């Protein structure tokens, strides 16, 4: 994954290309570089001292033009929006909202989610994390507030697709299928027996076969987006879902994006129509869901099966916990429970040891002060 690929997956880059096939959005709100944004925030802060030395009055920063623009955009999109930055949405912060949802009606709703989101922090501080070309300078980024028209999407209709070299991963049949081979044999026999077949008809028929073979080569690697739940309709409609995603990719996505390797999320509605939801870099910074990145990059999926590499929860037993649950507790607790931060664990053990020693000293003092029997 290169830094250029990350830049190309910004909303403002891909939205104009696929505007007809995605949810209506507004991304023309005021943009800043990260340093400019921080500078504006610091410059607007005004601390006023009162006569009472123990009391201070802090005036919050105000951006009247920006606030007005955002409110106009929210109203134009129906009064409810789904917010995000260049790449990420604050999916890890929905727990802090009063309605436990990412649905926002005002700028204060958006600020609350953004301030509580590690995903947004990642966009602002480490957008090029895990890129292979770390030695190259980071591209300049203008951060933008993206507002998407709020739509009640059923999580069971969302799917993530992985594309490498402009082909959806997971198909072994890169050549002609068995059915196509049989058709070719029949054509050869017909040509031998019926010499009067015109060259034009034969040419047209061959083109049709090649197009059919090309369609067979687009079987996708698809993962259920919300793998924390079991949806019966996915099991029943597996073939229809694969065909719909494959057709959408070949007709609207393939060869139209700036990169050959990328990940895209789609939503299939109750009418069977497929909508583009998001585009992400092809790399470990993007959640591989029910696949592993080793599988996606090694080619093992192509060797293992003939049909689509489609993974989803097949029963209640296969349901997995949501990774966003860990964001609802303090980060220190997560580090201690997983052992990711050894220094925090050492400090915690020292604290426990100190508390134990203090407790023992108190017990000894109480024992020494006890009256004789």
Can you spell out the DSSP letters for 291-332? S-HHHHHHSHHHHH-SS-EEE---SGGG----GGGGGGS-HH
Per-residue pLDDT of 155-177, as tens digits, reads 999 999 999 888 887 644 333 33
Taking 60 as the threshold, does the pLDDT of residue 225 lie above it? yes
Checking if the pLDDT of 54 tops 70, the result is no
82-94 pLDDT, tens per residue?
A: 999 999 999 998 8
176, burial (CB in 10 Å: exposed 0-12, middle 13-18, buried 19+): middle
Taking Cα atoms as reference points, which of 324, 266, 267, 332 lies closest to residue 94?
Answer: 324
DSSP string, 239-262: HHHHHHHHHHIIIIITTTSS-SSE
The residue assigned the tokens 């920006």 is 66
Contact 164, 260 (CB under 8 A): yes
Burial class (CB in 10 A: 0-12, 13-18, 19+), 283: buried
Helix axes 331-338, 342-369, angle to 10 degrees: 90
- Average pLDDT for 325-330: 53
Q: What is the mean pLDDT of residues 337-359?
A: 70
Selected residue with higher pLDDT from 116 and 213: 116
User: Would the pLDDT of 109 be above 60?
Assistant: yes
* C-alpha distance from residue 164 to each of 21, 86, 177, 215, 297 (Å): 21, 23, 21, 16, 8
The larger pLDDT score, comparing residue 187 to residue 209, is at: 187
pLDDT exceeds 60 at position 295: yes
pLDDT at 234 over 70: yes
Q: Which residues contact 304 (CB under 8 A, 6 or more apart)?
A: 172
189 φψ region: left (φ > 0), alpha (ψ -120 to 50), beta (else): alpha
Measured CA distances, 124 to 15, 66, 284 (Å): 20, 19, 18
Query: Of 77-91, 201-215, 294-308, 345-359, which range is least confident?
Result: 201-215
The structural domains of the chain, with segments of one domain joined by +, span 1-30+64-152, 153-197+215-321, 324-354
Distance CA(189)–CA(186), nearest Å, equals: 5
pLDDT of res. 333: 55
pLDDT digits (tens, 9 = 90+) for 140-149: 999 999 999 9
Q: pLDDT at position 195, please?
A: 42
Please say whether the beta carbons of 277 and 266 come within 8 A. Answer: yes
Q: Round to whole Å and give the CA distance between 128 and 7.
A: 9
**Please, what is the Cα angle at 101 between 6 and 276, to 5 degrees?**
40
How high does pLDDT run on average in the chain? 77
pLDDT digits (tens, 9 = 90+) for 238-291: 999 999 999 999 999 999 999 999 999 999 999 999 999 999 999 999 999 999
CB atoms within 10 A of CB 184: 15
What angle (nearest 5°) sits at the alpha carbon of residue 289, between those of residues 258 and 127? 50
Q: Regarding predicted confidence, which is higher, 127 or 32?
A: 127
For residue range 172-181, list pLDDT tens digits in order: 433 333 344 4
Query: Nearest 10 degrees: CA dihedral of 62, 63, 64, 69?
Result: -140
CB 224 within 8 A of CB 310: no
């Amino acid at each position: 994954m290169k830094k250029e690929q990350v830049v190309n997956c910004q909303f403002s880059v891909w939205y104009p290309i696929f505007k007809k096939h995605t949810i209506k959005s507004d991304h023309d709100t005021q943009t800043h570089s990260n340093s400019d944004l921080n500078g504006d925030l610091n410059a607007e802060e005004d601390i006023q001292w009162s006569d009472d030395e123990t009391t201070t009055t802090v005036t919050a920063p105000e951006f009247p033009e920006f606030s007005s623009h955002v409110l106009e955009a929210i109203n134009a999109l129906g009064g409810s929006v789904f917010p995000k930055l260049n790449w990420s949405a604050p999916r890890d912060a929905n727990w802090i909202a009063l309605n436990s949802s990412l649905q926002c009606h005002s700028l204060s709703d958006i600020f609350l989610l953004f301030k509580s989101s590690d995903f947004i922090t990642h966009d602002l501080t480490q957008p090029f994390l895990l890129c292979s070309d770390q030695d190259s300078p980071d591209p300049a980024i203008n951060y933008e507030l993206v507002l998407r028209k709020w739509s009640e999407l059923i999580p069971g209709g969302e799917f993530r697709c992985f594309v490498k070299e402009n082909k959806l991963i997971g198909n072994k049949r890169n050549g002609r299928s068995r059915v196509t081979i049989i058709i070719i044999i029949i054509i050869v026999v017909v040509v031998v027996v019926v010499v009067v077949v015109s060259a034009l008809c034969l040419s047209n028929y061959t083109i049709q076969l090649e197009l059919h073979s090309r369609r067979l080569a687009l079987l996708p690697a698809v993962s259920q987006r919300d793998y924390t739940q079991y949806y019966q309709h996915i099991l029943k409609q597996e073939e229809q879902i694969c065909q719909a995603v494959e057709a959408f990719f070949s007709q609207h996505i393939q060869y139209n994006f700036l990169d050959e390797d990328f990940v895209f999320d789609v939503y299939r509605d109750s009418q069977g129509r497929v909508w583009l939801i998001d585009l992400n870099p092809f790399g470990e910074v993007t959640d591989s869901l029910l696949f592993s990145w080793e599988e996606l990059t090694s080619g093992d999926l192509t060797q293992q099966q003939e049909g689509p590499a489609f993974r989803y929860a097949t029963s209640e037993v296969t349901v997995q916990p949501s990774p966003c649950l860990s964001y609802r507790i303090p980060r220190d607790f997560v580090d201690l429970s997983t052992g990711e931060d050894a220094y925090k664990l050492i400090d915690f053990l020292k604290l426990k040891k100190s508390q134990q020693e203090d407790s023992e000293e108190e017990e000894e003092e109480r024992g020494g002060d006890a009256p004789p029997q």
